[in-house]
Amino acid sequence: MKKSLFALVIVTVIVGLLGCGVSKEDHEKVQKELANTQASLQAKAQEQDKCAADLKTCQMELDQIKGDLMSLSEDYSKLGEEKQKIGEEYVDVKSQLAKIRMANELRQKAMDELLAKFESLIKSGKLTIGVNDGRMVIQLPSNVLFPVGKSNLSKDGKQAVQEVAEVLKTINGRKFQVAGHADTQRPKGKVNPNWTLSYSRARAVFDLMIKDGMNESLLSLAAYAEFSPVADNNMPAGQEMNRRIEIVLLPTSDELPMKQLKQIQATEAKIEKKVEEAAAPAEEKQEKKTEEKATEEKETEQEEAEE
């Protein structure tokens, strides 16, 4: 509208000048100025359009930045909540782990004391001491306790059990389980005699320990037949090791099995990893997100070019 009005004014001036006897040179000069003015106006109009387009682009970029900032703010908020939650879990696991480590130290101390008390019996070959499924176990080979295939204690077997019972009576605050084990040798049939044999042998040891003065409320019985081997049943030496009586020192309320300790340690490692991830600057995550987006756009352009 402004350009049209300006052109009309110029034309009116020219007509007035012509009507007043303007010379040809002046007329051409005015025409030239008019053309320059129109060109200038056109250039300004184009510049104005470009500015409008740039402004629109800037506005879009500003909106995008605002959206990114809002998203980043939400990410910070979520990270803060996650970090707090992980921190609470971490403190809890640390507390549990400290208790378990203390229990492990107590268990190790008990093991050392047990080894010291049974030192003479261990050296004589009458028993061994180890750990099975996180529990301390006294293992007495069947060939020391029983005649082959029998469940009645031999003379040497009775002496060995009595010596063990005398030591166990000195251990306070502990319960024991007498467990019988067998190898895989058995006659073919529907009923597995190893259950009877392993139980009968465990019961013979159990009864003698009570007769020797142990508190029966601290004892329990178990039989495993051939289903809890400690060696290869395909070898004669392995079969001999599997024919045994075990006296299990049951964990106290302050002790936990080794498996649980390992589980807690694994949980601690996972939480530590989460803490490290939560502590990472959110800008790194945003940068990674931007890089992934740029990669996706590049791949899309390549696919379009191939099509």
The answer to whether residue 31 is domain-embedded is no
Per-residue pLDDT at 223: 96
204 band by pLDDT with thresholds 50, 70 and 90? very high
Query: What are the tens digits of pLDDT across the range 17-48?
Result: 555 556 778 778 878 888 888 888 888 888 88
Beta pairing, strands 176-181 & 219-223: parallel
Q: Does residue 203 have a pLDDT over 90?
A: yes
The answer to whether residue 117 is domain-embedded is yes
Per-residue pLDDT at 158: 95
If you search the block for the tokens 């028993």, which residue do you land on? 127
Q: How would you label 152-165 residue by residue, b for 16+ Cβ within 10 Å and e otherwise?
A: ebeeebbebbebbb
How far, in Å, CA of 233 to CA of 120, rounded? 29
Q: Does residue 293 have a pLDDT over 80?
A: no
Split into its structural domains, the chain has a count of 1
| 0.85 exceeded by pTM | no
CATH number at residue 243: 3.30.1330.60
Per-residue pLDDT at 257: 52
The answer to whether residue 178 is domain-embedded is yes
The answer to whether residue 3 is domain-embedded is no
Give the range with max mean pLDDT: 108-112, 226-230, 258-262, 282-286: 226-230
Domain range for 167 is 103-260
The answer to whether residue 22 is domain-embedded is no
Q: Does residue 89 have a pLDDT over 60?
A: yes
304 versus 188: which is more confidently predicted? 188
Task: Decide if 200 contacts 260 (C-beta within 8 A).
Answer: no
The answer to whether residue 273 is domain-embedded is no
Token representation of residue 301: 């352009």
The answer to whether residue 13 is domain-embedded is no
The answer to whether residue 118 is domain-embedded is yes
Token representation of residue 77: 């908020």
DSSP string, 157-219: HHHHHHHHHHHHTT--S--EEEEEE--S---SSSS-HHHHHHHHHHHHHHHHHHHTT--GGGE
